[in-house]
Amino acid sequence: MQQFMSQLQHLLSAPGSGPVNWDLARQVAASQLAAAGDPAVSPHERHSVEEALRLADLWLEPVTAWPTGIRTSLAWNRNEWIYKTLDVWRKLCDPVASRMVGAMGDLVPPEARAQLGPMQSMMATLGGALFGGQLGQALGSLAAEVLSAGDIGLPLGPAGTAALIPANIRAYGEGLELPEDEVRLYVALREAAHQRLFEHVPWLRGHVFNAVETYASGIRVNREAIEEAMGRVDPTDPESMQAIALEGIFTPEDTPAQKASLARLETALALVEGWVCHVVDNAAGERLPNVVRLGEAFRRRRAAGGPAEQTFAALVGLELRPRRLREAAALWAALTEHRGISGRDAVWGHPDLLPSDDDFADPAAFATARLDLDDELANFDFSAPGGPEEQAPGSPRPRPEGTGDDAEES
């Protein structure tokens, strides 16, 4: 019993604030990676990654309207990916975890809460530890699959830092039965393209995160699933809290507002991924012998999500897959054909200029619409609050009156 109380006290006193015990999440993820294996990055691999990213940037020059977005090129092991991306995961997961922890507190009958006193805060601590352990397992699994910092379509790493994970690239290449250097260069092209996009479209990072947070705020918690999960906790075994499967505790909300937020999120993810796929395939052209096979493999991978990504989606109630990836890529291709590279990338000038979900159905119509971008931008009120913060390099940042929260992200 003394050992049990010591373990429980350690679990509940682990440092961390907010709805998730992120210190515990990092420990669980690191322990999982240590058990499965986390190969160190060799000097040769580090050099190969730096050269691949340098070459990728050169190939992207003629097919994009912006210069490089890379300030630092790195090769990470799996544990480094977790450490360097944890701040962004905190922003994504805390709102969802807060709802789960709140639901755990609601399991206590109102008439009994006054009698619990300090036990109420212990319930919140227990919930944070429980969710932290689960997230640690999910992130540990995801770290064994991701190929780069921007692999799942979100800017997870530090701004301006392009990073590849050599061990995962090697394993992925073996699965495709393709040369490792060719797979590494294709991944480097995708990473460099992500860096350009998020570096030179300053409002985009906040736009995507806001879409994620808005969707997460409407997720409902399945109270019965919470009760069932808590019922599996063995009070004599603190480790049983980490073994609980929390998948299924979130249920989709069918309200019009939640459906709209989901559509907005899926459109944002699809537009980002579609642009990356389009410019990467154009940059690779005939330079990579297996570019068609690589492109198709990556599109399927992003559309389906790997096992760890699916587990993460079930845990936090949020899928990060661009469901309309092919339609988005076709739309960017049509814009390139009819407006050229500069005209295509000028569409990123402001959220209001981006294609809507309805535009996916007829890319040519959107691309050939009688739209003079210079005249449209001239109609925006540049002096409105928030305009300067969202200004993209080389082009004015529109800020029309009445613009919603899409334009307020930074």
Q: What is the DSSP string of 215-273?
A: HHHTPEE-HHHHHHHHHT--TT-TTHHHH---TT-EE---SHHHHHHHHHHHHHHHHHH
Lowest-confidence pick of 1-5, 75-79, 211-215, 296-300: 1-5
Q: Are 399 and 381 in contact (CB under 8 A)?
A: yes
In our burial notation (b when 16+ CB lie closer than 10 A, e otherwise), range 184-195 reads bbbbbbbbbbbb
pLDDT of 387 reads 42
Mean pLDDT, rounded, for 225-244: 60
Whether 112 shows a pLDDT value over 80: the answer reads no
- φ, ψ of residue 246 to 5 degrees: the values are -95, 0
Give the span between the Cα atoms of 24 and 242, in whole angstroms: 10
The pLDDT-based confidence of 369 (bands split at 50, 70, 90) is confident
Cα–Cα separations (whole angstroms), residue 390 to 10, 50, 396? 45, 30, 9
Whether 169 shows a pLDDT value over 70: the answer reads yes
pLDDT of 374 reads 46
Tokens of 200: 């030179």
The pLDDT-based confidence of 61 (bands split at 50, 70, 90) is very high
pLDDT tens digit sequence for 65-100: 999 999 999 999 999 999 999 998 888 888 777 776
Whether 107 shows a pLDDT value over 90: the answer reads no
Mean pLDDT, rounded, for 10-27: 70
pLDDT of 257 reads 78
Give the span between the Cα atoms of 367 and 333, in whole angstroms: 9
**pTM of the full predicted structure?**
0.80
Q: What is the mean pLDDT of the chain?
A: 78
More confident residue, 162 or 316: 162
End-to-end alpha carbon distance in the chain: 51
Give the span between the Cα atoms of 273 and 32, in whole angstroms: 30
Mean pLDDT, rounded, for 172-177: 92
Mean pLDDT, rounded, for 259-288: 89
pLDDT of 395 reads 41
The pLDDT-based confidence of 263 (bands split at 50, 70, 90) is confident
Mean pLDDT, rounded, for 162-166: 97
pLDDT of 8 reads 44
Whether 400 shows a pLDDT value over 70: the answer reads no
Mean pLDDT, rounded, for 343-353: 93
pLDDT tens digit sequence for 116-153: 555 556 666 777 777 788 888 889 988 999 999 998 88
